[in-house]
Chain A
Amino acid sequence: MTILSTLPTVLAARPGFHAPGIEEFNYDCYGWSKFLGPACLNRTTILMLLVTAVVAVLFLVAFRHPRIVPAGLQNVAEYGIDFVRRQIVLEVIGPDGLRFMPYLVTLFVFIFFSNVLEITPFINFPVTSRMAIPGFLAIVTWALFNWVGIRQQGLGGYLKGLFWPPGVPWFMLPLIAPIEFVSTILVRPLTLSVRLLANMIAGHLILGVFFAGTVYLLAQPKTFVFGIGAGLMSIALVAFELLVAFLQAYIFTILTAVYLAGSLHPEH
């Protein structure tokens, strides 16, 4: 349920305050897409396709007539690419990580736009708050850093690095080997996806509670004064969520870069 559609409910049910819960994240399939079977479209998938289209169109339009002195949209796109290049790739991996630029830029821009849907008026739903999307992105990253590790160090070398980190004495192996293996193979993709998912769920719920609460408080004369405070706080939280949207895109991309760097330059 969007915040807009919450308004009438809250106004009608004055005595009881309805706090938004986890059920706000479930959408049913649209009737006209039932012929697609299990792949039928709901609001989340439509929004995801919208983000994909917006990102693709943004870059296509920005670089249709590239100029040496960039202007307008090209400036924006170049700033985004330059940010990933300087702050993430060169900082974390080094010059030999530049070949992963296309993946990392796509990841950063896609996650950022998906997160920003949370505070886009009339949409107000971050598609990254459904496990499918961060989960899929984490699986792609997982496959990529494993593949790069095997290509770079050979299967034997990569597995040895996984089970036996350099400098560990042999009698510690029964303890270290399972921890290292589980933390690299299982915990990495899990934390990567859950971090993004949980941040977006939390952000959406906080905004929902604050806006619904503002309307609820403003509707009654006794609590009108508190409603003004809650309203100002809601607006501040929108700005905060913009920061979170950027920060989560940055963290997802930088951790992907850290994992790739680990596969490219193993410890000796």
Chain B
Amino acid sequence: MNLANPLIAALSGNLNVLGYGLGAVGPGIGLGILIGKALEGIARQPEAAAMVRTTMFIGLAFVEALALFGFVLAFAIK
């Protein structure tokens, strides 16, 4: 690693954390859209709340998995 370059020198250390931070951006946006839309649906049609909530949790599990893969890989890859 070229330590003369100040940027690279500053980035040395545990780069996995940086990767996880980047990996959490997409799922974060996804969760926002998903839960926001579900709330919108419940507000428009409160009698469908139970169904919307169940589907929301299933979708939430899939979106969340991406962020958690990043979290596990941050520890797994040395």
Contacts and interface: CB of A to CB of B under 8 A. Distances in A.
Contacts of A22: 75
Interface stretch (A52-60, A218-226, A249-257): A249-257
B14 to A, nearest CB: 11
Nearest to B75: A22
Interface string B1-37: 0000000000000000000000000000000000000
Interface in B21-78: 50-51, 54, 57-58, 60-62, 64-65, 68-69, 71-72, 75
Contacts of A40: none
Interface stretch (A100-108, A150-158, A168-176, A190-198): A190-198
A195 B71 contact: no
Interface string A14-34: 000000001000000000000
A198 B71 CA distance: 7
Nearest to B62: A191
B19 to A, nearest CB: 15
A87 B51 CA distance: 9
A91 interface: yes
Given A195-B64, A195-B65, A254 B72 contact: no
Nearest to B72: A198
A232 interface: no
Contact of B65 (A191, A250, A258): A191
A199 interface: yes
Interface in A90-116: 91-92
Interface of B: 50-51, 54, 57-58, 60-62, 64-65, 68-69, 71-72, 75
